[in-house]
Amino acid sequence: MRTKHHLRMAVMMNRALVLAATFAWLTGCAAFQGGNLAAVKSYPAAKAKKSMDLDFKASVEINGYPAAGDVTALQQRWAKKCVERLRKSGYFTEVGETVSNPDLKLNVVMCDNGEANMGLAFLTGLTLYIIPSTAKDTFSVKAILTDTKTGKARQIDLEASVILWQEILLLPLAPFKTSSSQMSKCQNKIFDNLALEIQKSGALDQ
């Protein structure tokens, strides 16, 4: 009897785990790119390559108010991604946060402004995602590019967003449109366009 009891318990536990895993999958969101910022497919040639020092600051807001908590780790992660994407453009002989005697100085402030209706999101969860809800993360970059020799400064403003849909009908897309992958794609797009705007500004003409 004890063996049968343990077997029944094991079967019940397995079923519970399967149901939990299924529920977790069902409640996944599908995220999509928003805004009008296009992905950079190729970079036009620049007349000259230059070294550039980066000063990067990050902030996070939720429904227009500063988010609680330390953003140091997030800032470091975004700054690292920014450097990687700028290097990928091939426009610079050197780019980083500790470049000595650079030709260019780039000051970047990047903000993630999250927008969500918390009440509707709660209702979505309460109805097991039958009633849909959305959330939006808008990434904005304000950059000042300065030629260290002439002192000439140029301003670059960029914005792109990710929209998260929470709805049971989007279940088939959930594994392919995860929030994390779309966030990373959006950030790559912004930094790639930042490199492109630096080239367009004429800072690499001589």
Q: Which residue in 159, 161, 166 sits closest to 183, CA to CA?
A: 161
Quick one: angle between helices 179-200 and 72-88, nearest 10? 50
Q: Is a pLDDT exceeding 50 seen at residue 198?
A: yes
Q: Reduced to 3 states, what is the DSSP secondary structure of residue 189? A: helix
Please provide the average confidence, as pLDDT, over all residues in the chain.
85
The whole-model pTM stands at 0.81
Could you count the other beta carbons within 10 Å of the beta carbon of residue 92? 23
Could you count the other beta carbons within 10 Å of the beta carbon of residue 140? 17
Assign domain 29-200 to a CATH class: alpha beta
- The pLDDT tens digits for 16-35 are 434 433 444 445 578 888 87
Q: Which residue in 141, 140, 148 sits closest to 203, CA to CA?
A: 148
Break the chain into its structural domains and give their ranges: 29-200
Greatest mean pLDDT range, 60-64, 125-129, 132-136? 60-64
- Name every residue whose Cβ is closer than 8 Å to that of residue 9 and which is 6 or more positions away in sequence: none
pLDDT of residue 103: 97
